[in-house]
Amino acid sequence: MSLRIGTRGSALALAQTNKVVGMLADRGIEAEVVTITTEGDTATEVPLHAIGGQGVFVRALDDAILRGEIDAAVHSMKDIPAARPAGTVCCAVLERDSPADFLAHEGPLDAVRIIGSSSTRRRAQLLRDAPTLEVRQLRGNVDTRIRKLREGQYDAIVLAEAGLERLGIRLPGEPLPTDRFVPSPNQGTVAVVCRDDPAVAGAFAALDHAPTRLDVEIERAVMEEVGGGCFTPQGIFCRDGNLIAEVLALDGSRWERIERRIATVDEARECGRALRRQAADLIREAYTALGMKP
């Protein structure tokens, strides 16, 4: 069997896809990489929430699968939106890498005043931790973000630690603790989406890591019940069934949080509904402030 695997053209997306291709090769399965440009890659000067959120990185690849141009696509799983098109299936979830955010800074930590991040979650959590910080928009691929840091446009930037590790990039700085800076749902996880065809899905079955899949399914169930997408600052992280989930005000001044031991996806959904009730005002405020319709 020979497969066509789609990916975005960024260095990180290609590194993740090549890892999957290598894992397939180890099992005697050939695969060709097909690079596809998405709206999220071209509209880099626009805040992510203004062009449809993380789903913009996935939509073009989903469409290519449904048109039969590719058999599967590799994604950072946190980019995959809750609503999925019929005809596609998540056929493999790789073992999770670091879920943490990484604060990269060239100078001393106590001199950091301006931080770059395009994430409403990261912005809210940073301001909760240090309200005097200034958090400015930062889009672009990893190389672009690092260049802007080194040019002095920011004192520090926040990146996913897993992405740096996959690219073999070492930067001065430190990972942020996941209990205070709760990651995005599925951060640090790579997933493979394919055409809903047992023969294609079966080719990826051996790559699936069951413990990671359960943790990320718990996170996604909470995310789906809370709602808000990338418009509402929210961190949802589960490790070995231990869940932390929170929703924050855009300025980090208020938040609602749940910490619980979760064994099933149904329990996760109950948690998500409870958190949505607790955080209803914060969710509504975020949509209003960003000019979005709930």
- For the annotated catalytic residues, the residue numbers are 79
Contact 36, 8 (CB under 8 A): yes
3-state secondary structure of 11: helix
Question: Which residue, among 163, 180, 167, has the nearest Cα to 121 in the 3D structure?
Answer: 180
User: Can you read off the two tokens belonging to residue 192?
Assistant: 């493979």
Contact 149, 156 (CB under 8 A): yes
Residues 6+ apart with CB under 8 A from 180: 125, 129
CB environment 249-282: b (16+ within 10 A), e (fewer)? bbebeebbebebebeeeebbbebbebbbebbeeb
d(CA 287, CA 294): 6
Contact 23, 51 (CB under 8 A): no
